[in-house]
Structure 1
Amino acid sequence: MAKNHIRPEFTRELLHPRYWLVWFGIGILYLLVLLPYPWFNRLGRWLGRLAMRVMTRRKKITRRNIELCFPDMTEEQHEQWMIKNFEGTGQAIFETGMAWFWPDWRIKKWCKIQGVENLMLGIEEKRGVLVIGIHFLTLELGARIIGTVRPGVGVYRPHDNKLMDWLQTWGRLRSNKYMIDRGDVKGMIRCLKQGELVWYAPDHDYGPRNSVFAPFFAVEKAATTIGTTILVRAANPLLIPFIPMRNDDDSGYTLVVQPPLEGFPIDNEVNAAIFMNQVIEQQILLAPNQYMWLHRRFKTRPDGEPSLYDV
């Protein structure tokens, strides 16, 4: 049995005063997402602009990532993308509340799926499905949308704060059968061999271990995990990308589920990383302002090469 949380355990320790501020914040979020969607969606954009003034380090990282990936854009275009990205970051706070607290009927009212038939592939033959989730600002909501039609197995990093770990696990079990620690590779392989749908995100910089360098947009050497290759070799799952996009007209969300990928170069880890980065680029370009640019995607560099960041 894979290491998992069938149901998060609530203990009296989580009521300790040191967690009261978190409880207060979660309570406010719960109340706000009870409001009409357009109301708190606009509030999210305002909070994002406020965060851009306060989170100066993240602002520099976001701008730098956009500059590195899209060097042919003008400085004004870089600035516009960064502003839109921070607005989306503010909206993502409420989208997390939507994913954790909204009932299914409200999710279905505001969230539509294109390509739902692709999620059902592999069920009859009990072939696992590795859904290629990309770190969009809407990722929490995207997993919940998928869970309304086909619950799967969530892959997560335990939170350092015990209350937040309980909350995020409880919230994500609204759309998943159970959760697996992202370091439990054997557990993921076992789930895929059992025909489960497993969410996996290969687009961040997870450090030099189990990574190779491959192009990512205009950055020629981006540390890219070989985890996808490991899972495909061991379990032979279908590889299905999906992207949850926030509609520009405040009409909700469209989750696009792509057909299974073909031609994955399983025998060469570098070629596989290049292949996956190209797939990820295609998904990002569908809604580039909604990608999570605020992380240091290029923090790991080849030996002897300088950092691409000054923060």
Structure 2
Amino acid sequence: MSAVEHGGNLGEARRLFPQASGPWIDLSTGINPWPYPIPAIPAESWAALPSPDEARELEAVAAQCYGVPFDACVVATPGTQAAIQWLPHLFAAGTVSVLSPTYAEHARSWALGGHHVREARRFEELAGSEIAVLVNPNNPDGNFFGREELLALAAEKYARGGALIVDEAFADVMPQVSLAPMAGTQGLVMLRSFGKFFGLAGIRLGFVLAEPSLTGKLRQAMGAWAVSGEAIAIGRAALADILWQNGTRTSLRTARQNLDEDLTKAGAVIGGTDLYRLLQTAHAPALFRQLGQAGIWVRRFSANPRWLRFGLPPHADAEARLRAVLARYHKNGTRAM
């Protein structure tokens, strides 16, 4: 099975553009560039194994933050990527429909787990399989679906002995689309990423929201001490800090609006969320090269060469460098490529 494309690979950027002016600006991910301020971490969080009670306390804080009705419907994981790889082993082998294009690790993980995977291009094509997987809001286009249609699909999957897997990795910036308050519904499984919105992807923390029978199976599959002590300490503080979360949503929205203004000089912004924007242009490969030569790394898509995804510039210098490239592109078109 071929390797999955990911953002954030600056090693590839340096190999492709060895003469690029630096330092590199990584806009290839959908991670908040202004992370949650890490609190003081007790020494025992580093020195001792985390206790089950500490993990349960983290899950209780997450339940309150996400609006989950029962703590038992939440299980903490060492990142949602780990959950994506574990979940296929908790269901009997069957047919899995993945709404695409989206995060490619979903299809890969279910296939490696022994399931027959088919890619659906429309929501209606998710019907008929035992398992359906979608990202809401979606990566990279930001499309999202209503609660009623998702709950109906979950009921259809449950009747077939399966489930609807909803990856809500970017729902923190669109909490109104989240199904978290429905956690515990039969046939409904949700994934929540901590690192993207809080800008702390490196601590590897995520959550699965589902009925207690499934969260219990996942907890057993992961084994003891799946989440580190420092991740528990940081996660508890950040998830309880509602003031920071609300302020961050506002600042991300403003930054996204500013980025949209800049990107429209180079093409059409066709979607995204407040953490990333999807640009479509007939000359995306040429723009990608010019950005790379200027030390700016963005996400390209082999399946759609007209697309480029941009994260938010982290500071004024990054904004200025990006604007300079986009202005040259707008002025000179492909002649500058």
Q: Same fold (TM over 0.5)?
A: no
Give the structure-2-normalised TM-score.
0.27
